[in-house]
């Protein structure tokens, strides 16, 4: 695949910290959505750190639509970093 991307996770109490590192393309976006779907029912807050991302061109509308559907759950999302707009 060639995508150099990592998701560093830390779970404490009801809060998931997710640090995104590397190239953010369609494949890595799908991995993020998949991971978030696993956790949205189990935590009250998700903090996504985007400062270590390298923004790559991909289908941003598809990603944003999937992320918006997750935001309808009873979980609070906090997105930090220079690429936070990807999640807007």
Whole-number Å distance between alpha carbons of 66 and 60? 10
pLDDT at position 26 is 84
- Over residues 17-47, the pLDDT tens digits come to 999 999 888 888 899 999 999 999 899 999 9
Domains and CATH numbers, the chain: 5-87 (3.30.750.24)
Sequence-separated (6 or more) residues with CB below 8 Å from residue 41 = 73
Strands 5-12 and 76-80: what pairing? unpaired
Q: Which residue has the higher pLDDT, 67 or 2?
A: 67
Helix (H) or strand (E) holding 34: helix 26-39
């Amino acid at each position: 695949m060639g995508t150099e991307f990592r998701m560093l996770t830390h779970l404490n109490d009801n809060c998931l910290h997710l640090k995104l590192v590397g190239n953010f393309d369609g494949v890595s976006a799908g991995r993020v959505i998949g991971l978030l779907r696993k956790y949205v029912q189990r935590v009250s807050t998700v903090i996504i750190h985007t400062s270590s991302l390298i923004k790559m061109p991909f289908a941003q509308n598809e990603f944003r639509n999937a992320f918006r559907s997750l935001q309808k759950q009873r979980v609070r999302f906090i997105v930090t970093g220079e690429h936070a707009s990807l999640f807007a």
